[in-house]
Amino acid sequence: MILADLTPRAFTAAAEFLAGQDADWSRHIAATGPCLHAATPGREPYEALVRAIAYQQLHARAAEAILGRLLALFPGQCFPAPEQLLRVTPEAMRACGFSASKAATLQGIAQASLDGIVPSRDEALTLADDALIERLVTLRGVGRWTVEMLLIYSLERSDILPVDDFGVREGYRRMKGLEKAPTPARMRVLGQEWSPYRTVAAWYLWRA
């Protein structure tokens, strides 16, 4: 089953469900307020993956600046097509601020899009979460977290918990007053109790 409901009504249902988990969840949700998660559903998976790679391991402002320099190479366009990105030289990529590794990953994503490995948005909407993850993590530099960001923000999947995300695990530690954050494996087990609202759970944990 593909769970993809991130409407305001679903946010309300999710918050009520999570607040009913225990007193810690209830207090945190009351203090945080309504879920204001904002998806970007118009983006093609190719664009979403390129953007996610640009943001990997960087502060948002730094990533926005680097991505902005890349987009400036294509005036008058919202985003370069895969074949255009493939024509950007490694030197130009480095001038934008991308590391050699990230530049190779971006061009790999562009080639995979042309080869049909990165699906179109229409195809992606028909693929289950695990199927899309399994398909895309074969690409160089694309890990599970990157695909999960695609699922959450571009495909509006409503039951995704990125357990490898430091903010999710640290948010749970703070909410619970623990000395150490849970491991990704432990976080995955804990998150089973929050299904089918794990995307909203992640949003609230990030706010912690």
Residue 153, pLDDT score = 93
Distance CA 78, CA 81 (A): 10
Tens of pLDDT, residue by residue over 70-91, are: 999 999 999 999 999 999 999 9
Residue 42's pLDDT band (cuts 50, 70, 90): confident
Give the C-alpha separation, 32 to 24, whole Å.
Answer: 12
CA 207 to chain CA mean position, Å: 16
Give the residue-averaged pLDDT of 12-19: 98
Average pLDDT of the chain, as a whole number = 95
Predicted pLDDT at 55:
86
| Burial annotation 185-194 (CB, 10 A radius, 16+ → b, else e) | eebeebbeeb
Q: Is the pLDDT of residue 1 over 80?
A: no
Q: Give the residue-averaged pLDDT of 184-199.
A: 98
175 CB burial (10 A radius; 0-12, 13-18, 19+): buried
Confidence of residue 116 (pLDDT cuts 50, 70, 90): very high
- Confidence at 122, pLDDT banded by 50, 70, 90: very high
Is the pLDDT assigned to residue 169 strictly greater than 90? Answer: yes
122 is catalytic: no
The catalytic residue among 5, 24, 122, 165 is: 165
> Quick one: pLDDT at residue 60?
84
Q: What percent of the chain has pLDDT over 90?
A: 91
- The answer on pLDDT for 56 being more than 90 is no
pLDDT at 49 (0 to 100): 95
